[in-house]
Amino acid sequence: MDHDSKSKNASLRNAVDLVHLRYAVAAADHGSFRRAAEALLLKQSKLSRCVRQLEERIGMIVFDRPSGGARATQAGRDFLRMARSILEQMDTLTASAHSAGRGETGRLAIGFYTSLSAGNLRATLVDYAQRFPHIQARMIESSRTRLTTALRNGAIDVAIVTGQTPLLDSQIMSLWSERIVVALPEIHRLADGETVYWTDLKDETLLINRHDPGPEIQDLLLAKLASPGDRPKALFHDTSLGNIMSLVGAGFGVSLVRESDIGANFSGLIYRELRDGVGPSWVGYSAHWRTDNDNPALASFLKMLGKRYPSPAV
């Protein structure tokens, strides 16, 4: 056997077992091998033997052994102080690993394009933060196209968008629905009533955002007003919701927004529920994620979503 192999085997023989450290610390804490063994549900002979093995491996007498007791030597007290620190760090490391495996710690990147001022997404994030305070949730607001790319590249773990069309080959979970409301200038003719019907929009200029939920709103517009002559003039803008609302407030037209959007403070506006002959109009939300994403934090987030927004029974 060569010198390196002998050194390696010697190191293995001299390695300190963490269990032996725990036995030694327990003996010091109880001041007695017998009481420590009883607390650990061990035979006293086994605990005493393990501590003796520990002393042989580190080349130090840790305990004086007066009759019926276990009193640490001066060198032993220094050793036990370090042993406690090591055990505390190992316990913390093990607990952290278990928490990460259960999805209780870690990081989660959530892509979205909706308002966080109110509504279900805000409530969901608050609930998640309370349930999993050690998970760092990072929010990425972007367009559906960019969120799709980010999901494909692994830059985000989950995307929450309007509609039910899968993004790429991702998994999809239906979430909540929000009412569509009409944003009007305060002095608009339709502001006097409590509700606005789709047919009331005929002579209006409708400002639509090209981003979410613009595509869903356009689909609703075509479905609710099948005849082109009954539809409002639609102007599409590639800008933020805030700028759309500023245009509405300045009298450039009206807009259709989600219920959660009215939580933001836009001056000079009034919101009215949009209805057809049956009732309010809605837009649905869904969560999308890659099937090969094994992030435990994602699994915990999806589990919470499933409980908050269970699929209706078939």
Which residue reads 């007290």 in tokens?
77
Six-digit token string for 172: 């999809």
- Count the neighbouring beta carbons within 10 Å of the beta carbon of residue 55: 18
Q: Give the tens place of pLDDT for each residue, 236-250.
A: 888 888 888 899 999
pTM of the model: 0.61
Q: What's the domain range around 242?
A: 107-314
Q: Give the tens place of pLDDT for each residue, 60-76.
A: 899 988 766 788 888 88
28 pairs with which residues across the strands? none
pLDDT at 298: 92
Which residue reads 């450290």 in tokens?
21
Task: Identify whether residues 176 and 259 lie together within a single domain.
Answer: yes
pLDDT at 132: 86
pLDDT at 302: 93
183 pairs with which residues across the strands? 255, 271
Task: Identify whether residues 120 and 244 lie together within a single domain.
Answer: yes
Task: Identify whether residues 193 and 66 lie together within a single domain.
Answer: no
Decide: helix, strand or coil at residue 116: coil
Domain boundary, last residue among 78, 101, 124: 101
Q: Which of 207, 201, 264, 267 is nearest to 239 (CA)?
A: 207
Task: Identify whether residues 20 and 116 lie together within a single domain.
Answer: no
Rounded distance between C-alpha atoms, residue 188 and residue 184, angstroms? 6
pLDDT at 199: 92
pLDDT in tens, the chain (314 residues): 454 544 444 443 456 788 888 888 888 888 888 888 888 888 988 988 999 999 888 888 999 887 667 888 888 888 988 888 888 777 666 655 554 555 445 789 999 876 666 678 888 989 998 988 888 888 888 878 888 888 888 888 999 988 878 777 788 999 988 888 999 999 999 988 889 999 999 999 999 887 767 777 888 888 888 888 888 998 988 888 888 889 999 999 999 988 888 866 778 899 999 998 889 988 888 999 998 998 888 998 999 999 999 876 44
Task: Identify whether residues 234 and 125 lie together within a single domain.
Answer: yes
